[in-house]
Amino acid sequence: MIQRMKLRTISSDVKLGANVTLHNYVNLYGCEVGDDTKIGCFVEIQKNARIGKSCKISTHTFICEGVIIEDNVFVGHNVTFINDKYPRATNHEGDLATEKDWQVRPTIVRKGASIGSGSTILCDVTIGENAVVGAGSVVTRDVPPDTIVAGNPARFLSHLESSLPGERAETQHGSRGRSQRRKPSSA
């Protein structure tokens, strides 16, 4: 009989909500994960990070100290959060840097946002409610609510507007600056 390997490292100071799904090879310490959230394989969530309810954190994602992810957020595969503006290996005396040699810089991902696979989210930014960050983006500044951004650095692509309940339609700016409504794709 083949035994399933779990190899999970979950420290005793982790606060897990009800019905949290943890896949193999996760590393959680000092963090908080809300009810009904799914954490994929090879995810690390550090101390003082907070994940809300009904989130999906996909495989190979790194969520560092100082990150707050609100409810209903999707985080794609291999997303990396950053919490230090000027990382250094050593302090002014030349010794290896410790926690007292730097300050955690916060990042907030608001309710309902989606972050595409392979994105890097720098510190001191807020990703607005229901915003979408395209795959492979590097987010260097705040993302307004209900917008789509993509690229390196991530730039505004379009607004999202409510269409039918549970759906969103994109609104892009045409060449003359007028908004043009696009129907949601069926794909």
Question: Count of alpha carbons within 13 Å of 120, Cβ hemisphere only?
Answer: 9
| Predicted confidence (pLDDT) at residue 171 exceeds the cutoff of 60 | no
Catalytic site residues?
A: 92
In whole angstroms, what is the distance from residue 111 CA to residue 40 CA? 20
Tell me how many degrees the CA angle 136-140-141 measures, rounded to the nearest 5. 125
pLDDT at 8: 79
Mean pLDDT of the chain: 88
Q: What domains does the chain contain, in order, with CATH numbers?
A: 9-83+97-182 (2.160.10.10)
Residues 20-49, mean pLDDT to the nearest whole number: 97
**pLDDT the model gives residue 162:** 53
Whole-model pTM?
A: 0.84
Q: Please tell me the distance from the alpha carbon of residue 79 to that of residue 116, in angstroms, as a whole number.
A: 8
Q: Per-residue pLDDT for 174 more than 80?
A: no
Model pLDDT, residue 166: 57
Give the pLDDT confidence of 118-149 residue by residue, as tens digits.
Answer: 999 999 999 999 999 999 999 999 999 999 99
Model confidence at 9, in pLDDT bands (50, 70, 90)? confident
Question: Per-residue confidence at 55, pLDDT binned at 50, 70, 90?
Answer: very high
In the predicted structure, residue 163 carries a pLDDT above the cut 60:
no
pLDDT category at 184 given cuts 50, 70, 90 is very low
Selection from 175, 160, 57 nearest residue 109 by Cα: 57
Query: For 72-104, how does the pLDDT look when each residue is reduced to its tens digit (9 = 90+)?
Result: 999 999 999 999 998 999 999 999 999 888 899
